[in-house]
Every structure is written in structure tokens, then in C-alpha cells.
Amino acid sequence: MSGGAPAAKGALARLVQAIALASIFALLFAATRATPAFHSAAGTIAAIGFLLLAGTLASELLDALGVPHLTGYLLAGILAGPHALKLIDHESVEQLTSVNTLALALIAMAGGAELDLESVRKGLKSLAYATVVQNVVLGVGMVAVFMAARPLIPFARPLALGALFGAALLWSVLAMSRSPSATLGILAQTRAQGPLARWTLTYVMSSDVVVVVLLAAAITVSRPLIEPGATLSAKAFEALGHEIVGSVSLGTTLGLLLAVYLRLVGKGLPIVFVALGFGFTEILRYLHFDPLLTFLVAGFVVQNLSKQGKTFLHAIERMGGVVYVIFFASAGAHLDLPLLGKMWPVALLLATSRAGLSWWASRLSARLARDGEAVRRWSFSGLVSQAGLTIGLSGTIEHEFPIFGAGFRALVLATVALNEMFGPIIFKLAIDRAGESRPAERASVLPEAPRTAPPEAEATEHPG
């Protein structure tokens, strides 16, 4: 009887959640059909509330099947989005993308703060091998795959050989990007502890810096190949150096200011994060600095050059829960299902090629670094997911190369959709198989916060 009671209680809770989720969908469906002006009048506010509730409930229902929480957020957004049930229209989805700016700022700062200098130093050999091998293998492999897939890519067919190579080079750099938010989300849900969790967290967060730098260099090198009359000049590399050095310098300054603020004031941090996520991001773009790199450096400085790291991470946890649910649910609503339907053959080819190359590179680098069994066998699993970072970088490419930018971004969205759906599932399965998950410690049904607190500290859950 003692074993049956908890099981019955759990089944009842799932039933209540399913009824609540169906009721929420039905109410919003009725509201959007009965009131044509609903979308324009209160659509955005309703969308935020709906995605928060529906995403959380869907994640809890799918958790019983071992599916990652963030997959639940994505599915709730897809079903409610303008390409499925049309509970949320295009205008509301576009307005919700402003939340992404805040979410990416929080993800970047949390990611930088997760890079504890001592942990990085201990795993430096493995990290160095993985960085070199992954980037070389993906760089060469994805250029070859992209060029071979030319007949399947509408915008690539009319390109000259040099321009095609330039586009392939840009694609290969995007293939190197990972998903910090998905990594943090799965580790938060599983409360994972072990070599695989530590390796994945360190690699994914540090690789962001490498990808940002490589993309800036790739844009500089590709421009003469893609744009007739453009030349590769020292001035272009000077601008690249200005962006990188300026972003690192400003990130260091911001990190020190945040550390001082945390020590002397320590209150009103949500307001500070909102100001950084929205206002400061626009200033960085105006100055031609990279927001992601700036915030990554800021988080790293707070963690490693001050004693305010734990306070800083707890503050991001408390705010990040709600923001990340909306972030992933709106990402699901934003997925262009008709576009995915049209481009799925080449998107599937590029996504599976990337996953296969990542698997081979991870096995090779782990062997060279003499990593442990868990890392050798499962390290590729955390490298499949892509999300907001990749989409944001594709927007930069669209802006820089209007000759094919719209088609390039459309293909990125279709490919990211596949990686976004299957990557977290693969990573969670690997964490469970490696024996590093600790699901018994998850006591809350609220949105998860990033896995930023130490194991002995009390932590809330959040979406990744």
C-alpha cells in the first residue's frame, strides 16, 4: 500500500495537469475565435501568460515520459503558434522576441559565471583537444557537406563557386555553435553531477567565445568572395580586433561594476538585469561590440575576480525561471512549420551531418586527451542542441550579406528546429545513461532555474 499511494497520487497529479492544460488551450482558442480583435488588443499579454502556464504544465506531463522540460516548452509554443492552432498570432510572436534579448543576456552571464577558473584549469587539456578537433572537423566537414548539397539549397544554386565557398564557410562556423540554454536547462532538471556534466558545461560555455570570434573572422574573409569588388584589407581585421578587444574590455568593466554593486547594494538586481538585457544590449550594438561576448566576460569576472559569484548566480536563478519558459515557448511558436516542411530534406541532411561529425570529433578528441569513459562515450550528446545563439548569429549574417541572407537564415531556422527538438532529448538520455542524474532531488513543479547553485545549496528549477 505504501508504494501504491505515491503512485496513485502522482497519476492524479498528472491527470489534473492534463485537464488544466487542455482547459487553458480551450479557453484561449475560444477567446481568439469569439473576439477577432483579441490578438491586437491583448494578444501579447495573453500570450505571455499562456506560454508560461502551458509550457510549465506540458513540461511536467512529458517529464513522466523522461522527456526534457524544455521540450515541453517548445511543444506548447509550437501547438499554440501561428502555424498550428493559431492561438498566438504572428504579431504577438514577433513582440515576444524582445524577451529573447533579456534571456540571452541572462544565459550569457550565467554561462560566464559557470566557468569557474579552477574547473577550467583542471580540464584544460581535454577542453583544448575538444576545441581544436571539433572546430577543425566541423569546419572542413560542413563546408564539404554544404557545397555538395548545393542542388538542394535554393539560394545556393545561382552562386558562383567563390561565393558558394564563402557561404559554406559561414555555415560551418554556425555549425560549431551550441546551446548554452539547453545545456543549463537539462543540467538543472537532472541536477546532474559528474565528469560528463562538468565537461559539457565547460565546453559549451567556452565554445561560445570561440564561435563569436570565428564568425567575425569568417565574415571578414568571406566578404571578398561573396561581394564583387570587396577586398580583404587590413582595415577589416582592424574592425574585427576592435570588436573583440572592445567586447572583452567592456565585459571586464561591467563584471567589476556588477561585483561592486553586489557587494555594496545587493538589491534590485532584477531591474539591473532588465536594464542590461534591453538598454545596454542596444548600446553595445551601436558601438559595434558583441553583446554575447561582453556578457560572458562579465559573468566570468564576477565569478572569478570577486566573492559575489554565488549571489550573482542565485539572482539569475530567481529571475531566469519565468524568462526562460517564455523564451523557449516563444521559440516554439516562432518555428516556421511550413518552411520546415519545404526545406526538411536539406535541413535533415545538414543536421544529421553535423551530429555525425560532432560524434566522430568527440570520440577522437576524448581519445587524444585520455578522458574518462563517460566523456569518451557521451560527450557528443551535449553538442547537438542549437537555439537562440545560432539564430542570433544567423541574423548577423543576414544583415551582412543581403544577397542571400534571407534564404540562409531560413535554412538556419529549419535546421535549428531539428537540433532544438532532438538535441535536449539526446543529452538527457546520455546524462541518465551515464548515471549522473539525480531526479530524486527535484521536488518542485515550478519552472526551473539554471543549474547555478552548488549541490549543497537549495535551488529552484527552471527551463533551459
Q: What is d(CA 121, CA 127) in angstroms, rounded to the nearest whole number?
A: 9
The DSSP code sequence of 321-343 is HHHHHHHHHHHHHH--HHHHHHH
The single-letter code of the amino acid at 454 is: P
Q: How many CB atoms lie within 10 A of CB 405?
A: 18
pLDDT number for residue 417: 81
Residues 114-138: b if buried by 16+ CB within 10 A, e if exposed: bbbeeeeeebeebbebbbebbbebb
pLDDT number for residue 454: 39
Q: Give pLDDT tens digits for 451-463.
A: 444 333 333 333 3
The band of 235, judged by pLDDT with boundaries at 50, 70 and 90, is low
The band of 383, judged by pLDDT with boundaries at 50, 70 and 90, is very high
Indicate if the pLDDT at residue 387 is higher than 90.
no
Q: Give pLDDT tens digits for 21-72.
A: 788 788 777 777 666 555 554 566 777 778 888 888 888 888 777 777 777 8
Q: Where are the domains of the chain?
A: 4-94, 100-320+346-441
With contact defined as beta carbons under 8 Å apart, do 443 and 189 qualify? no
Comparing CA positions, the residue from 419, 272, 440, 266 lying closest to residue 335 is 419
Q: Give pLDDT tens digits for 178-232.
A: 887 788 778 877 888 889 988 998 898 778 778 878 888 888 888 889 887 766 5
The band of 361, judged by pLDDT with boundaries at 50, 70 and 90, is very high
Indicate if the pLDDT at residue 86 is higher than 60.
yes
The band of 302, judged by pLDDT with boundaries at 50, 70 and 90, is very high
Average pLDDT, the chain: 81
Q: Give pLDDT tens digits for 100-148.
A: 788 878 878 887 887 778 777 878 899 999 999 999 999 999 999 999 9
Average pLDDT over residues 267-273: 88
- Between 330 and 445, residue with greater pLDDT: 330
pLDDT number for residue 414: 84
Average pLDDT over residues 286-314: 87
With contact defined as beta carbons under 8 Å apart, do 301 and 293 qualify? no
Indicate if the pLDDT at residue 246 is higher than 80.
yes
Q: Which positions ≥6 away from 27 have C-beta within 8 Å?
A: none
Report the SS3 class of residue 404.
coil
Q: What is d(CA 284, CA 271) in angstroms, rounded to the nearest whole number?
A: 18
Q: Give pLDDT tens digits for 89-102.
A: 777 777 776 777 88
- Range in 5-14, 53-62, 141-150, 324-333 the model is least confident about: 5-14
Quick one: what percent of the chain has pLDDT higher than 90?
28
What DSSP state is assigned to residue 27?
H
Burial class (CB in 10 A: 0-12, 13-18, 19+), 284: buried
Indicate if the pLDDT at residue 324 is higher than 80.
no
The band of 434, judged by pLDDT with boundaries at 50, 70 and 90, is very high
pLDDT number for residue 448: 43
Backbone phi and psi for residue 461, each to the nearest 5 degrees, phi listed first = -95, 155
CATH topology of domain 100-320+346-441: Na+/H+ antiporter like fold (1.20.1530)
Backbone phi and psi for residue 462, each to the nearest 5 degrees, phi listed first = -150, 165
- Strand ranges for 168-298 from DSSP E: none
The band of 388, judged by pLDDT with boundaries at 50, 70 and 90, is low
Q: Which positions ≥6 away from 447 have C-beta within 8 Å?
A: 52, 55, 56, 321, 322, 324, 325, 461, 462, 463
Burial class (CB in 10 A: 0-12, 13-18, 19+), 156: buried
pLDDT number for residue 285: 80
pLDDT number for residue 373: 92
